[in-house]
């Protein structure tokens, strides 16, 4: 039954929630609050089913696959949105967070599903690497949104026009969240880079003599890490007022997110050990879990498919070593 | 059911008259006890607030006392003449002309409007709900309530809750201090418990704003006033500290919230004052509330980063907008009141007609059973199957005869105008 759950199901639910959220800014009915919550929760359940079926049951490269990585990121973002709605029901979270959820879904649907060398590192290490980077982006998303909300609130307070339609948290809270999330982001990025260096090191041991630091992804991530860490340190100096501090962190966060999304969309093969690995499009039957005939796959063909996927997606340590000088 | 209301309110009656008919809690208890002695058969609830005094009188069956009798009793009670016998002299016309007298359906919709604050001086003020609850409770405690007042006051509470949930009448704040604290200060600071509050001046506005700030958790309060005695008095009332007027700029360096409410003719905090301590503040945000005319804080300070300065005009504009937003909700509230009034009246009519239908059916069934008994005695060798057929035919006959009046009764309970009709049915069938 789960194979029938497609991207359209949960994206449509989220879109309805977004539209209802816009409409209910004018009506503010308790029922529409409840309806929005129920539809967003149902959408999230469909999202869960989609990820579960297409990435866990059909393939086991959930975190390490770039397409799945974006879908899971969107899933966690939506969960965060639902939890925020429960704990801060007055705030218009859906208006701010749903566009980012749509972005992750679009990125997930449009990304080729490159995967990491499975045979060379433990699942834990790969999951840790992918998870750290995911938390980096998630924290950055929330920090960035908190920054945007901060400026909207700042504008309202300075212009003495507090909107009764879009309720925002206090300036103090938004500033704290913005800073905390950027800190988390730097921390998780550091962990992601360390685990990435380790994976690269292991791959090198299996036959490739190239240094981990010549990997463009690792180098790029290191540069981002230093830029983020410097911005964070710089913003802590007394030169910055609260507003300037949030502005700096939000702008840096925005640039970081743009780079990450572009890297995910266009450079998912930039790891040196993936450069010559075969790529499976996100909408291929293997990645999306859709059997070519349209029928529900039995466990055996699925296993066969999985086996085929593993073979073709495993970087192909051999092909790498063959392909590189 | 008979229901009437005698009331005077701020809308039509000057304060000099209203205060003559104002009842405190003890006076209401005396009134209710005396009512029990004089008009014990009738239900009553007396609501007395600053803006209105209203006496609700109800009777489940039969007529209410004459209006003049009730007004005379009210007047006697108000004048402290606790004579349960009461005087029979008519109430002077100069008094009666102030009273608004409503009956039946008008009483219900009026009470629903009053409890929903639609009749209040400040639309959406929440106190009226608790005042009416309290008035009803007093009446219940003194045994002057009954099924009608119980139903109508319960429905009124339900209506008020529905209006609160479905409209924005109670949502927007309309007083300057509440707007300052909730709409602005709490949009800047997450909580006020750790914030340092500096109060310049010791007048009413300062105190009113302090009340809201402490309601939302403010604890660290420093009062600064040219007159140390008044400062001390205000500080004592709110567990704050007093600092001499000359040290106000030093306190400003530490403050998170400043309330300026002095009677000074020129600014008591200037841009230069602020600049002199800006370094010490380490870019912490500062919320400044200038609720005086002329202004106490130089307006240029508000343009600095991290300073959020609001004058009384800024707040008054928000209050005005909020009032307009509340006003826009009036039609919605009135629609709910109309719906709830109709629902209440239908419920009352349904109760009346149900009782008549039951009596009617019981009476006719009794006749049917008597006739069956008589008939079966006359034909003792009637076999059971025939008896069953006869019983069935009698049942059908009674049901068919009862059907038109019952339909009419049900229609009446839905559409209203049941009083005279029910009376006629009762008389026609001797119920």
Q: What is the dihedral of CA B342, B345, B346, B348, to 10 degrees?
A: 160
Is B319 labeled as catalytic in the residue annotation?
no
Domains of chain B, start order? 2-171 (3.30.460.30), 176-319 (3.40.50.720), 350-408+416-429 (no CATH)
Cβ contact A156–B317 (<8 Å): no
Flag whether residue B314 sits within 8 Å of chain A, measured between CB atoms. yes
Has residue A248 been placed in a domain?
yes
Flag whether residue A156 sits within 8 Å of chain B, measured between CB atoms. yes
Has residue A217 been placed in a domain?
yes
| Residues facing B9 on adjacent strands | B52
Distance CA B298, CA B47 (A): 48
Q: How many residues in chain B?
A: 431
Q: ipTM, 2 decimals?
A: 0.70
Distance CA A310, CA A303 (A): 10
Give the pLDDT of residue A4.
67
Q: What is the pLDDT along chain A (325 residues), one digit of tens a residue?
A: 556 677 888 899 999 999 888 887 655 566 777 888 899 999 999 998 888 877 666 555 554 567 788 888 899 999 999 999 888 888 888 889 999 999 889 888 877 655 555 555 666 777 788 888 889 999 999 999 999 999 999 998 988 887 767 788 999 999 999 999 999 999 999 998 888 888 777 776 665 555 666 677 788 888 888 988 988 888 887 777 778 888 888 998 899 888 887 876 666 555 555 554 444 444 444 444 333 333 333 333 333 333 333 333 333 333 333 333 2
Flag whether residue A240 sits within 8 Å of chain B, measured between CB atoms. yes
* Token pair belonging to B280: 């010490």
Distance CA B363, CA B380 (A): 26
β-strands B43-48, B307-311: how paired? unpaired
* Token pair belonging to B284: 């912490």
Residues A227 and A297 in one domain: no
Has residue A8 been placed in a domain?
yes
Cα–Cα nearest to B173, from B160, B163, B162, B186? B186
Torsion sign (Cα): B85, B89, B90, B94: negative
Give the pLDDT of residue B4.
92
Residues A101 and A125 in one domain: no
Give the pLDDT of residue A120.
58
Distance CA A80, CA A74 (A): 10
**What residues contact residue A245 under an 8 Å CB cut-off, 6+ apart?**
A175, A179, A235, A236
Give the pLDDT of residue B280.
87
Cα–Cα nearest to A113, from A72, A143, A150? A72
Does residue B125 contact residue B169 with C-beta atoms inside 8 Å? Answer: no
Has residue A259 been placed in a domain?
yes
Distance CA B179, CA B187 (A): 11
Cβ contact A171–B188 (<8 Å): yes
| Structural domain count of chain A | 2
Cβ contact A162–B318 (<8 Å): yes
Flag whether residue A1 sits within 8 Å of chain B, measured between CB atoms. no
Residues A206 and A120 in one domain: yes
Give the pLDDT of residue B90.
73
Distance CA B324, CA B337 (A): 20
Torsion sign (Cα): A262, A266, A269, A271: negative
**What residues contact residue B342 under an 8 Å CB cut-off, 6+ apart?**
none
Q: How far is CA B96 from CA B11, B23, B53, B86, in A?
A: 16, 18, 14, 17
Cβ contact A240–B283 (<8 Å): yes
**What residues contact residue B4 under an 8 Å CB cut-off, 6+ apart?**
B56, B57, B58, B64, B67, B70, B101, B102, B103, B104, B107
Question: B325 contacts in A (CB within 8 Å)?
Answer: 164
Residues A265 and A296 in one domain: no
CA distance A245 to chain B (A): 11
| Alpha helices in A52-122, H assignment, sequence order | 66-87, 93-110
Give the pLDDT of residue A56.
66
Nearest by CB to A172, which of B168, B190, B314?
B190
Question: A162 contacts in B (CB within 8 Å)?
Answer: 183-184, 187, 318
CA atoms within 13 A on the CB side of B282: 4
Give the pLDDT of residue A178.
92
Query: Phi and psi at residue B286, in whole multiples of 5°?
Result: -130, 125
Residues A125 and A214 in one domain: yes
* Token pair belonging to B406: 């019952």
Flag whether residue B279 sits within 8 Å of chain A, measured between CB atoms. no
CA distance B277 to chain A (A): 15
Flag whether residue B285 sits within 8 Å of chain A, measured between CB atoms. yes
Residues A93 and A31 in one domain: yes
Helix, strand, or coil (residue A241):
coil
Give the pLDDT of residue A323.
32
Residues A217 and A289 in one domain: no
Has residue A321 been placed in a domain?
no
Cβ contact A157–B186 (<8 Å): no
Query: Phi and psi at residue B200, in whole multiples of 5°?
Result: -100, 115
pTM attached to this predicted model: 0.69
CA distance B223 to chain A (A): 25
Query: Phi and psi at residue B327, in whole multiples of 5°?
Result: -60, -40
β-strands B196-200, B257-260: how paired? parallel
Residues A92 and A126 in one domain: no
Residues A192 and A133 in one domain: yes
Q: How far is CA A144 from CA A91, A254, B190, B213, B424, in A?
A: 16, 6, 19, 31, 76
User: How big is the A-B interface in CB pairs under 8 Å?
Assistant: 51
* Token pair belonging to B111: 């009470």
Helix, strand, or coil (residue A71):
helix
Flag whether residue B190 sits within 8 Å of chain A, measured between CB atoms. yes
Below-70 pLDDT ranges, chain B: 80-88, 416-419
Give the pLDDT of residue B416.
64
* Token pair belonging to A211: 């240094």
Has residue A323 been placed in a domain?
no
Give the pLDDT of residue A118.
52
Residues A260 and A137 in one domain: yes
Q: How far is CA B172 from CA B169, B326, B327, B333, in A?
A: 7, 7, 11, 15
CA distance A156 to chain B (A): 9
Per-residue b/e over B359-374, b at no fewer than 16 CB within 10 Å? ebeeebeeebeeeeee
Flag whether residue B304 sits within 8 Å of chain A, measured between CB atoms. no
Distance CA B249, CA B253 (A): 7
Q: Which domain holds residue A211?
A: 116-275
Distance CA A110, CA A221 (A): 22
Nearest by CB to A173, which of B165, B183, B190?
B190
Residues A78 and A182 in one domain: no
Cβ contact A172–B171 (<8 Å): no
Interface probe, candidates A25, A157, A246, chain B, greatest B C-beta count within 10 A: A157
* Token pair belonging to A279: 């790529």
Flag whether residue A26 sits within 8 Å of chain B, measured between CB atoms. no
Has residue A7 been placed in a domain?
yes
**DSSP classification of residue A55:** I
Has residue A318 been placed in a domain?
no
Helix, strand, or coil (residue B100):
strand
Instruction: Tell me which H or E stretch contains B3.
Output: strand B2-9
Residues A120 and A255 in one domain: yes
């Amino acid at each position: 039954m789960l194979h029938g759950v497609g991207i359209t199901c949960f994206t449509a639910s989220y879109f309805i929630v977004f539209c209802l959220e816009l409409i209910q800014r004018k009506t503010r009915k308790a029922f529409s609050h409840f309806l929005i919550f129920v539809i967003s929760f149902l959408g999230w359940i469909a999202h869960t089913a989609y990820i579960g079926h297409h990435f866990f049951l059909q393939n086991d490269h959930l975190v390490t696959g770039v397409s799945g990585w974006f879908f899971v990121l969107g899933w966690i973002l939506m969960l965060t949105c639902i939890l925020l709605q429960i704990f801060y029901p007055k705030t218009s979270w859906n208006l701010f967070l749903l566009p980012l959820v749509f972005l992750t879904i679009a990125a997930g649907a449009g990304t080729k599903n490159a995967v990491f060398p499975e045979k060379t590192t433990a699942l834990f290490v790969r999951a840790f690497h992918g998870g750290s980077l995911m938390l980096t982006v998630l924290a950055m998303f929330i920090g960035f949104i908190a920054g945007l909300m901060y400026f909207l609130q700042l504008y309202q307070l300075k212009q003495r026009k507090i909107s009764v339609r879009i309720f925002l948290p206090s300036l103090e809270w938004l500033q704290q969240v913005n800073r905390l999330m950027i800190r988390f982001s730097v921390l998780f990025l550091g962990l992601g880079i360390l685990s990435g260096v380790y994976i690269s090191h292991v791959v090198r041991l299996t036959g490739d003599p190239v240094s981990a630091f010549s990997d463009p992804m690792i180098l790029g991530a290191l540069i981002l890490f230093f830029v983020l860490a410097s911005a964070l340190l710089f913003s802590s100096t007394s030169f910055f007022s609260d507003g300037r501090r949030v502005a700096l962190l939000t702008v840096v966060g925005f640039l970081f997110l743009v780079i990450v999304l572009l890297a995910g969309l266009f450079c998912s093969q930039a790891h040196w050990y993936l450069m010559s690995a075969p790529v499976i499009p996100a909408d291929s039957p293997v990645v999306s879990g859709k059997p070519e005939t349209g029928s529900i796959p039995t466990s055996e063909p699925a296993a066969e498919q999985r086996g085929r996927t593993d073979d073709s997606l495993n970087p192909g340590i051999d092909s790498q070593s063959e392909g590189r000088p | 059911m008979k229901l009437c209301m005698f009331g005077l309110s701020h809308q039509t009656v000057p304060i000099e008259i209203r205060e003559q008919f104002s009842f405190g809690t003890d006076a209401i208890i005396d009134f209710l006890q005396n009512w029990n002695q004089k008009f014990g058969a009738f239900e009553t609830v007396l609501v007395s607030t600053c803006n209105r005094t209203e006496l609700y009188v109800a009777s489940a069956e039969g007529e209410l006392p004459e209006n003049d009798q009730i007004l005379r009793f009210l007047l006697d009670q108000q004048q402290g003449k606790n004579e349960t016998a009461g005087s029979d002299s008519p109430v002077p016309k100069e008094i009666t002309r102030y009273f608004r007298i409503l009956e039946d359906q008008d009483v219900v919709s009026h009470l629903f409007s009053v409890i929903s604050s639609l009749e209040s001086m400040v639309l959406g003020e929440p106190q009226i709900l608790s005042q009416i609850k309290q008035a009803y409770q007093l009446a219940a405690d003194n045994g002057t309530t009954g099924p009608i007042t119980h139903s109508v006051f319960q429905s009124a509470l339900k209506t008020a809750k529905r209006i609160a949930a479905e409209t924005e009448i109670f949502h927007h704040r309309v007083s300057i201090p509440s707007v300052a604290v909730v709409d602005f200060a709490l949009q800047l600071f997450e909580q006020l418990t750790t914030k340092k509050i500096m109060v310049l001046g010791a007048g009413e506005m300062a105190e009113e704003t302090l009340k809201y700030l402490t309601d939302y958790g403010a604890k660290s309060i420093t009062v600064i006033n040219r007159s140390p005695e008044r400062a001390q008095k205000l500080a004592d009332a709110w567990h704050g500290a007093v600092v001499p007027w000359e040290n106000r700029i030093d306190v400003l360096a530490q403050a998170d919230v400043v309330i300026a409410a002095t009677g000074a003719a020129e600014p008591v905090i200037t841009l230069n004052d602020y600049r002199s301590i800006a370094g010490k503040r380490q870019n912490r945000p500062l919320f400044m509330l200038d609720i005086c005319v002329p202004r106490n804080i130089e307006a240029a300070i508000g343009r600095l980063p991290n300073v959020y300065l609001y004058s009384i005009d800024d707040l008054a504009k928000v209050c005005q907008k909020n009032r307009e937003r509340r006003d826009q909700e009036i039609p919605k509230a009135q629609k709910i009141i109309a719906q709830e009034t109709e629902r209440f009246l239908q419920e009352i009519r349904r109760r009346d007609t149900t009782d008549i239908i039951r009596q009617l059916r019981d009476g006719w069934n009794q006749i049917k059973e008597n006739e069956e008994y008589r008939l079966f005695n006359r034909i003792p060798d009637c076999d059971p199957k025939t008896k069953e057929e006869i019983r069935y035919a009698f049942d059908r006959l009674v049901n068919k005869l009862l059907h038109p009046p019952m339909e009419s009764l049900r229609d009446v309970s839905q559409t209203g105008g049941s009083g005279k009709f029910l009376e006629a049915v009762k008389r026609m069938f001797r119920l």
